[in-house]
Structure 1
């Protein structure tokens, strides 16, 4: 599911490449009283290494250098910590896409196409919790934190798609384009990530995803105008 976060500083400034919670910093443990942010950071790193099946509050606590009971002062259960991690991943990914569009220049097609490359590069470069974001069924108690960040993610793409499409395109038409756009980038990246050999050149694959998205968008616009 795609749809709040304990880490809000992930959206990059113009010209800044961003590294948010899914970066893999040297393990430092808990300090300066910011335990929730440390737990989310270490939780996302654990997801990148072990996936949802290998995720536990105890393992996150160990990575953060605190007792197994300490996380429960901030997150009542495993699902709460997972939801915070999912929201942080979405915030980071949203920032990556916004940054890529900004760097692509003024052309609306190029701006949207760049997000496909950024998406594929993100998945291949981090592999952090993408299965959690799309397929984990969060309970009602924890769902809103994830949904709120998901709305921000979709808002970025909907705005870029609306700019690329002819004026007057319906909301449904914009949403359909976004769905195909994200599905193509996601599918390409996940097939590569799940292959027998890890991709060696992430930037090259990201460029291919951008080119494929550009071709699709150009053809789609030609059909609409023809």
Structure 2
């Protein structure tokens, strides 16, 4: 009886431990701080594959561009080449951030000095980037502004509906409260992917469990 129970448990596990790869499409991107949310304008590559085992989305080869607008117009834009994200990890063959503000560098979160000239540098050869302040530039002291935008894209899955639904991913800071206000601010990045279909189901371990369970059941039946 014990052997039969074990075989049945293994058979059940063979159907419940399956992992899969899903094709996904990036449909919405939100950037938030204490002033509220703004939607990112997405261009370029928007399709990729989500691995339910690793929790990582690997985008198709190419460049994805995001542009963020505030009440004064374009704040900054960035480009991601051959990128992936998930499980609080972001990787890309290259990342380029272009600031559009005349007084504040949103890419590195620092203010230009009295001369209104950007004298600092951002190095994105390693992520999330290295900021080197120069001249009379000064780091933004306001905690409601995010430091170095490359940090934002290290997101993790918060909900997954399966085919026909959505995959939603957030940076860790998304639900952190604003230290300067009493309300809950949305800091960081929210990515919403539509889940298109199953690409494949890699189940070598599952197949082994299924086969072992069947062999066990056959063996039990023969002994009877």
Give the TM-score range, shorter chain: under 0.3
Structure with greater helix share of residues: 1
> Which structure features the higher share of strand residues?
2
Normalized against structure 2, the TM-score is what? 0.28
For the pair shown, the structure with the greater C-alpha radius of gyration is: 2
